[in-house]
Amino acid sequence: MASCCGAARCTCRVTAGPGVTVDGNGSPFAPYVISTAGTSAPTVIQAGDTATADNSITGSGTVGDPYVITTKVILDPAPPGGGSNLIEEGPDGLYVECADVRGCITAGDGAAYTPGTGEVEARLSADAGNLVVFGGDGGLYVPAPAPTQVGCGLQGDGSTGAPLAAFPIAGAQPWADGWDCDPVANSTLKCDPVSGALWTPPEHTSAAVTLQQLHPLGGPTIGVTGGFTLVDANAWSEGRYTADSLSPCRGISLSTRFTGHVELTWLANAAFDLGYAVQVDGGALAVRQTHSVLANGPARHERYSFGVSEAAVLPPHTGKTVRVYPAIRVTAGTVTINQWITDTDLIAMTR
């Protein structure tokens, strides 16, 4: 080796690199000695504790006694928020049990929580009218509202642009435009506080009829009577209103008029009075005098017209019957009744 390395082209030359020293020439008497530079300070290792870890070091750092660094986790026995510390130490490390965590969870508004299973879900309100449900995918779902069915008397579809409203055919009109009175006291449109239905009072109705009756008197000749007497008990005219025939709700105003047309023949110096015997609802007869010939005079043949009336205001469920009989009182001479016709006018109006 010495003869080789002494040569100019020797291939066993050893050169020291950074941090390394080479001693010797490679001969048997001065072998190469390669060593590191001994300029570094000894390694110093210290264990530092923290609030969450208790650290310690054992060993001297030699091959036979290496450094061993250990750490023990510090668990707070009294957490500042109260309650118990849920972190525990086990043979395989730190752990937290799900069952311990469940008791710490509280459901707020809109949530439901089951501590036994740890399940948290949305809580649906049980208040009437709530439309929120669970959809097919488990999410919260509000079904689209059904189309608004607009009935008679209403307009609009319930949207913001077309709100549901009453449908007056003549449009809007302020009360004071046409009437100078209190609408609260005089309006006929009402709202039932129980059902909420709109209503108006029952409609007004009216009826009128005219009848003509020719009494079959046969021309009787009547002498002095002393008082009024019926020309014929079977000759009568009647105006009748049957209860509730116009309205089952309202009372009525009833007016009945009887107009008589009489053709008479009498002798000279005769004197007499004509009239109708009126009977109301089957009661007593009361004569209403309508025409008289009082002064003595020549024989005559004439026609007269006259009338009597009966009016009443009837409450609901009430009827009325008015009947008249031709009547005469002869105080002198004789009178022949050739013809007696009665026109009956009946008018009824709800109140």
Instruction: Give residue-wise pLDDT tens across range 16-48.
Output: 777 678 787 777 777 877 776 555 566 677 777
Domain boundaries along the sequence of the chain: 2-34, 206-350
Q: Is the pLDDT of residue 293 over 70?
A: yes
Q: What integer pLDDT is reported at residue 24 of this predicted model? A: 78
Strands 93-95 and 88-90, sheet pairing: antiparallel
Q: What integer pLDDT is reported at residue 39 of this predicted model? A: 53
- What six digits make up the tokens of 305? 């017209």
1 pLDDT tier (thresholds 50, 70, 90): very low
Q: What integer pLDDT is reported at residue 322 of this predicted model? A: 98
> Cα–Cα distance between 348 and 208 in angstroms, integer?
6
Instruction: Specify the higher pLDDT residue, 160 or 292.
Output: 292
> Cα–Cα distance between 328 and 307 in angstroms, integer?
14
Residue whose pair of structure tokens reads 């752990």 in the numeric block: 95
Q: What integer pLDDT is reported at residue 294 of this predicted model? A: 92
Q: What is the pTM of this model?
A: 0.57
Q: Is the pLDDT of residue 245 over 50?
A: yes
> Cα–Cα distance between 338 and 102 in angstroms, integer?
117
Instruction: Give residue-wise pLDDT tens across range 75-100.
Output: 888 888 777 787 888 887 888 878 77
Q: What integer pLDDT is reported at residue 142 of this predicted model? A: 87
Instruction: Specify the higher pLDDT residue, 342 or 128.
Output: 342
CATH number among 1.10.1740, 1.10.1760, 2.60.120, 3.40.50, domain 206-350: 2.60.120
Q: What integer pLDDT is reported at residue 6 of this predicted model? A: 55
